[in-house]
Structure 1
């Protein structure tokens, strides 16, 4: 039994359950903890006879997920664990009894995940659980991409922007950063494949990496128009559902516009993923330098987003 602090007693006596409490309770219920811990455990430091003992793995993983959900820096997350009782309870920590992690401990765990490329495995583990539950189906893929901004400032030690990020033009506006390409299931709208590139890489170049071998349909916007891929898909018996694009001096017919609207009504579900990642979890700008570190965070966010979108189905 842990010694209960006055903060915990006061928290128990409050009359309303906050939105943060409800969200964390739902995610705690649907998270496949045993499977996720099994991925990390072989690489996690073991307790020895001497020196500082590592934090329990489950508590550390829970703290890492809190950082992703609330877009907190390492120092910001350390402060939040001291200040917010609901976060401490989700992590299984007590203010009086347990030693709360400092920002260096949080940093070291994230670097461990990056070094062993574990975040992609965590995403795949979550998807395997969803597939076993019948929530991630096969048959067709929707492809799309979104730009994540990076800091363009040169006011740093190297007096230069991140060399792995690039700028691209969308419409009449220029953006600097990276691009997240996703392949999502047509039936469920959940992402099964992710690719992260600099922003100047075309959407079409990542199309082969986003498809599954047994896909029987491909849906995408006009950025994926390509006659070579179109003929290959039709030859293989795959439905080519890429939006038609008007050409110079040749506008789309009314029938072609209706086809585009019909396909867009199905394809729009892939935008729900980007809404959760950007609006719900606050990932609108890269936090680190380099593609690899940011890609590791993207894999985690996509896996957590898949769980978030299907949390009610998993709870029922």
Structure 2
């Protein structure tokens, strides 16, 4: 009996995943990123010919968008025609990258520190479009959990991940520190540290050097007094919650202080937007690798893609 085709590759239903990849196809600066990575790709003089840069870059980005490990990405390329189409890999009979090939491409990006350059390339595009300004920066940090179990090959937790206390709750993992544009909320600086590093320690490293104003929550008290403080930057740090709660709003001066805190909070809210995209839209709530360097490289890529996601309407000229 003749075997019937499943017809999985012929659906044209506009699913949310298809819509998402269609939008990313239009806004990602593929040519610039391919030119960035190409000089570091192996020549492939022996063995099977290597895959081109652009399909591997597209696969790497799909891993970030859909929170897929290397083996899961390999399976998805075999199971999901949409993913193969987006990567430009053709039909069922064509050779597809296996998990080792996907792993080697990621290691190449890490070895040559290309992830921060990917973020810079994206931000250069956004700056050229007038979407990334330089007058102010909002800084913040978020905890990213790491496995605390010792049931692994080494029998120990990742030594580069540390404990941190937030409120009355202890967390184990790393911290992602970001600096975002105070006008658009787009991330321009990303730093990864152990979870035990205090937020204010990284405060001044999150500034790009061209801003005149910086905003932060109450955890950044004293940022302007630190040895690495940048001249000419006015820090607008939130009042401690206990002090603000004690304000007497019947007093005109204290009522004015409370209103100033409200204005600061509205500006600081911009920093939550890229964090929400990375954690909720892309599902990055736990570290995927061991060590800070690999996870920080992934964060650079995630925030580059988050910037494109946030600016997509303006980049494609669609109405808000």
Q: Same fold (TM over 0.5)?
A: yes
Question: Which residue, 235, 238, 258 being the options, matches 1:240?
Answer: 235
Unmatched 5+ residue regions in structure 1?
1-5
- Per-residue CA deviation, residues 228-278 of structure 1 (Å, 9 max, x unaligned), is 539x98x95544321011568993454333322221112111101111101
1:103-252 aligned at under 5 Å gives the runs 103-226=99-222, 228-229=224-225, 238-246=233-241, 251-252=246-247
Which ranges of structure 2 fall in alignment gaps of 5 or more residues? 250-254
Q: Which residue of 2 aligns with 1:277?
A: 278
Does 2:292 match 1:295? no
Alignment deviations for residues 31-87 of structure 1 (CA, whole Å, 9 cap, x no partner):
111111111111101142x31210111111100101111111111111111111111
- Sort the Cα spacing of 1:13 and 1:202 in 2 relative to 1 into closer, same or farther, 3 A: closer
Q: Is the 8 A contact 1:246 1:252 kept in 2?
A: no
CA distance in 1, matches of 2:185, 2:110: 27
2:24 maps to what in 1? 27
- Per the alignment, in what secondary structure is the counterpart of residue 203 of structure 2? helix
User: What's the secondary structure of 2:71's corresponding residue?
Assistant: helix
Tell me the TM-score normalised to structure 1 length. 0.91
Kindly tell me: are residues 93 and 250 of structure 1, through their superposed partners in 2, closer, same or farther at Cα, counting changes over 3 Å? closer
Post-superposition CA distance 1:123-150 (Å, at most 9, x none): 1111111111111111000000000000
Contact 2:175 2:195 in 1 (8 A): yes
The alignment's TM-score, normalised by the length of structure 2, stands at 0.90
Structure 1 pair 248/312, CA: closer, same or farther in 2 (3 Å)? closer
Q: CA RMSD in A?
A: 2.2
The yes-or-no answer on 1:42 pairing with 2:43 is no
* Secondary structure of the corresponding residue to residue 132 of structure 2: coil
Counterparts in 2 of 1:86 and 1:170: CA distance versus 1, 3 Å = same
Q: Distance in 1 between matches of 2:10 and 2:78?
A: 17
